[in-house]
Amino acid sequence: MSLIALVGFALAVSAVSGVTFLWLTMWGPVYFAGFAGVLLFYPVIIIFWLFFEVAAIAAVIVSIIALARSSSKTRSRRYSVIGLVLAGVVAAFSLPALWFGNAPLVMLGVDVLA
């Protein structure tokens, strides 16, 4: 198994879990308790989001490198593809999710506020 593929997969998983935690911190009180949001922590959340976005972009780059270096259908190739997909989704949808709250869920057909 390739170490590069595992690094890309680990970066992608950390980016997904980090953005999920930030989303729950920002929008969880709105959906679960009816509060107006925790806008006091919004600058801190955006600063942490930058680190997770950099991790997602690094995971995309590392996964592409791992895919270029693998020659056949191995386990490391599977980890590279999974890491690439996860990191791509985080890189594309993390800022709209943090900014608009339930926008990704509405795009998937799930309305939380209904």
Residue type present at position 1: M
Amino acid identity, position 12? A
Residue 64 pLDDT > 80, yes or no?
yes
Q: So what's the pLDDT on residue 45?
A: 83
pLDDT, mean of residues 31-43: 70
Please give the C-alpha separations between residue 37 and each of 1, 52, 61, 106, 114, in angstroms, as whole numbers. 44, 21, 34, 19, 18
Asked if residue 6 lies in contact with residue 76, where contact means CB atoms within 8 angstroms, the answer is yes
pLDDT at 44: 83
Percentage above 70 pLDDT, the chain: 82
Q: Please report which confidence band the pLDDT of residue 39 belongs to, taking 50, 70 and 90 as the band edges.
A: low
